Amino acid sequence: PRLRIGSTVPNFDANTTFGKINFYDYLGDSWGVFFSHPADFTPVCTTELGAFSKLKPEFDKRNVKLVGLSVEGVPSHNEWIKDIEEISKLNKFGFPVIADENKEVAFLYNMVDEEGFKNLGKGPVSTIRSVFVIDPSKKLRISFTYPPSVGRNSAEVLRVVDALQKTDAKGVVTPIDWQEGQDVIIPPSVSDAEAEKKFGKFETVKPYLRFTKA
């Protein structure tokens, strides 16, 4: 399948460091941040999984479940997680990492680069740094794709979760570089009269650009 914004993401069963999971059942009614990394015992990935595990309380607050993935087996993941806990000074690594040894989930979610795609079935294939933000109805809402050489931005993942949850809850949209607490935009589909009823005060910069408190 080709995943687009608004696509229902595919379900799967997989072995993980938390035991066997069914993806949909694991997410339940939560949001999901599902991301892949190239390999266990590699440096950028180590910093990434440590950072995301440290931020788990922030994701918990937002009702978001984290799920990682790479193509090694569970024993390798578990050995490596000991390193991550030591390096990032974590009491306990906080979320499951899928052991996608047959690369079934990686291909279901297209977590490969051009080279990996060409090597399909004839060479080593590692996953890249994909991020999928999935809402409680299992729809893909945002996706990022980074190469193995560049680590992701944990603050941007939290920022877009805040933005998506705000837009869903309040019927607003968020401007460039928006951060929680900043003013939001009233969508053009809402008339001035409706906007006044719904949001109280708002500032009109142009008829189509109206800011209000979130």
What residue ranges bind a copy of itself (CB under 8 A)? Answer: 2, 4-7, 41-44, 46-48, 50-52, 83, 87, 110, 112-117, 128, 141-156, 159-160, 163-164, 167, 173-178, 185-188, 205-206, 208-210
Residue number, 46 or 70, with CB nearest to a copy of itself: 46
Can you tell me the distance from the alpha carbon of 6 to that of 51, in angstroms, rounded to the nearest whole number?
28
Please state, in angstroms and rounded to a whole number, the distance separating the CA atoms of residues 120 and 112.
Answer: 10
- In contact, 119 and 125? CB cutoff 8 Å: yes
Task: Please identify which residue in the block is written with the tokens 């607490």.
Answer: 181
The conformation of residue 149, written as its DSSP 8-state character, comes to T
Q: Which two tokens stand for residue 68?
A: 């990682």
Judged by CB, which is closer to a copy of itself: 13, or 115? 115
- Catalytic residue check, 45: yes
Q: CA 117 to CA 178: how far, in whole Å? A: 35
**Least distance between a copy of itself and beta carbon 125 (Å):** 12
Give the shortest CB-101-to-a copy of itself separation in angstroms.
21
Nearer to a copy of itself by Cβ, of 22 and 187: the residue is 187
CB of 12 to a copy of itself, least distance (A): 19
Cβ-based neighbours of 14, under 8 Å, separated by 6 or more: 20, 21, 23, 98, 99, 100, 104, 105
- Catalytic residue of the set 45, 66, 112, 161: 45
Q: How far is the CB of 19 from a copy of itself (least distance, A)?
A: 27
22 vs 87 by CB, closer to a copy of itself: 87
Catalytic residues: 45
